[in-house]
Chains A and B, each alone.
Chain A
């Protein structure tokens, strides 16, 4: 039906797509442009080209510290979220158990409540039990945000291959846990990595929950937010976020690629 219709060179849909892409990219590109502009205010006309904002980044210890904090929080919270999400995924895909519906509901509800509620609730529980706020608290908050995603990503992968492979492993003398380690997890590896990277990028950019839970040490978004109040720090912030943007694009493109590879191997093995 579509093939029979002669397609114009630039269709209406294509034009619309182009406009939408421009709408999405222009604001970011403008900011990147200003990150090379030799002026503390983000206004036209442009001044000289400069890389000094990028150079100044290296001499901003607080900023680098918050960057380091965010990397740690992202790394550890994503590891925990991936591990717990994977265990949950195996349980819900491979077994039937009592209260399965309840478990599914509780583990996916973080998807359907505004994250400010989670931040506030964790703040209260830490206050209630006298646990001081810290990066650890932020990391715990991020695991709750990310477990549903990790679980669903891994569950999709598990549902994509039959458990005959696992049964074969057990017939060949592996214990159930041996089979999990030697058969199930290797086959699910691309999904595990995708779950980890998806969790990491979420955590790295997360502000709404972290805002309530940071103690004395800030994560990068919390630090950036505090800097937005000082206009003179703006070019520095823009330069840093441009760098972060390029990095996160690389990370997420990697995730996409893995996910697609996992889907295509799934199709091949199906």
Chain B
């Protein structure tokens, strides 16, 4: 804060003025977030104790749904499975995206930003379209199979890739790779190039420079990239619906089912709360050094 505003703060009247400004600036966004974010989460927590979604039973409060969730091993297994799918997807994304980001930052020279834009353009297309693209590509009457058939390379449609856990992961990786490359690239760009020269002058070999200087310094960006895939993927329900089939079902589908089909809102609330807590704990556990701006890709 500059000297002028400090001087302002010294006078009680000016202090009041500053407080007024803060109040005016913060009240609208604060109220909005309170009304449409904090309170809804609170209502969800309240719903998790209700006996039923509608009717008189709604006014009865119970731990029944928590007990049901704790006893429901299939729900827990599904949560575990979704965490694994999210983990695999984000790891594959990081492994695929790191060399891209490295190439752009260290090898691509002045055209790096243009090349980065080229990578990101496909992800500005409709999310549903990109999933649909893979549904079409992977299906038994899909493009891969019909292409191979019409070329005469295969006699009949190959075993379908669609409707499996693998199809979900391939599709999600496709969707997220560019979003992982961005924060890794940003992280690599922040590395002071003089450090690399210093390491070289001190006799480090290129692989040593990579392993001991670049890699550790890139970790915050890598983690941001990892989390920016991991967080939405844990709760994913659209991709499994379209390409997952029975094998590729995820925890998000279970949550969605409680609201859209089963209309068991209290149980759905329990499931959402559990997922939210798991994701928050993992995010704050893993993401200590991660800048929130990296995570947002800003």
In the complex, the number of residue pairs spanning A and B with C-beta atoms less than 8 Å apart equals 261
* Interchain CB contact under 8 A, B132 and A228: yes
- CB contacts (< 8 Å) of B123 on chain A: these are 24
Shortest CB-to-CB span from A198 to chain B, Å, is 8
Instruction: Indicate whether B56 reaches chain A with its CB closer than 8 angstroms.
Output: no
Complex CA–CA separation, A33 to B91 (angstroms): 32
Chain B residues closer than 8 Å to A151, beta-carbon distance: 29
Which of B26, B117, B177, B256 touches A24 (beta carbons < 8 Å)? Answer: B177
> Secondary structure of the B side of the interface?
helix
Judged by a CB distance under 8 angstroms, whether A61 is at the interface is no
Q: Which of A43, A122, A252 contacts B36 (CB 8 A)?
A: A122
Decide: B36 and A140 in contact? CB cutoff 8 A: yes
Asked if B292 CB lies within 8 Å of chain A CBs, one says yes
Q: Which of A107, A115, A256 is in CB contact (< 8 Å) with B235?
A: A115
Which residues of A are found within 8 Å of B102, using beta-carbon distances?
Answer: 13
Q: How far is the CA of A256 from the CA of B118 in the complex (A)?
A: 12
A71: CB under 8 A from chain B? no
Collect the chain A residues with CB atoms within 8 Å of residue B268's CB.
120
B-chain residues with CB within 8 Å of residue A125 when the two chains form the complex: 36, 39-40, 43-44
| Chain B CB within 8 A of A152 CB | yes
- Complex Cα–Cα for A6 and B33 (A): 55
* B143 lies within 8 A of A30 (CB): yes
Contact B132 A208 (CB under 8 A): no
Tell me the minimal C-beta distance from B25 to chain A in angstroms: 4
Contact with A along B218-251 (1 / 0, CB 8 A): 0000000001000110111110001000000000
Interface residues on chain B, size class: 35 or more
B141 touches A114 (CB 8 A): no
Q: Chain A nearest CB: distance from B13 CB in Å?
A: 14
Taken residue by residue from 196 to 213, chain B's Cβ proximity to chain A (1 for < 8 Å, 0 otherwise) reads as 110010000000000000
A12–B236 Cα distance when bound, in Å, is: 35
Stretch of B60-68, B158-166, B184-192, B271-279 with 4 or more beta carbons under 8 angstroms from chain A: B271-279
Contact call A13/B36, Cβ cutoff below 8 A: no
Determine if A91 and B128 form an interchain contact, defined as CB atoms under 8 angstroms apart.
no
Q: Decide: B146 and A224 in contact? CB cutoff 8 A.
A: no
| Residue B255 is within 8 A (CB to CB) of chain A in the complex | yes
Q: Is the CB of A143 within 8 A of B146?
A: no
The residue among A42, A45, A162, A253 with the most chain B CB atoms within 10 A of its own CB is A42
Q: A124-B43, A228-B132, A241-B126 are in contact. Are A88 and B29 (CB under 8 A)?
A: yes
Option from A27, A83, A162, A249 in Cβ contact (under 8 Å) with B174: A27
CB nearest neighbor in B for A34: B136
Can you sample 10 A-B contacts with CB below 8 Å? Answer: A20-B177, A95-B18, A116-B237, A121-B43, A123-B259, A128-B43, A140-B36, A152-B298, A201-B124, A207-B238
Using A91-B22, A117-B235 as known contacts, list a sample of 7 further A-B pairs with CB atoms less than 8 Å apart, ordered by residue number in A: A2-B107, A23-B174, A112-B280, A125-B39, A152-B298, A221-B128, A241-B126
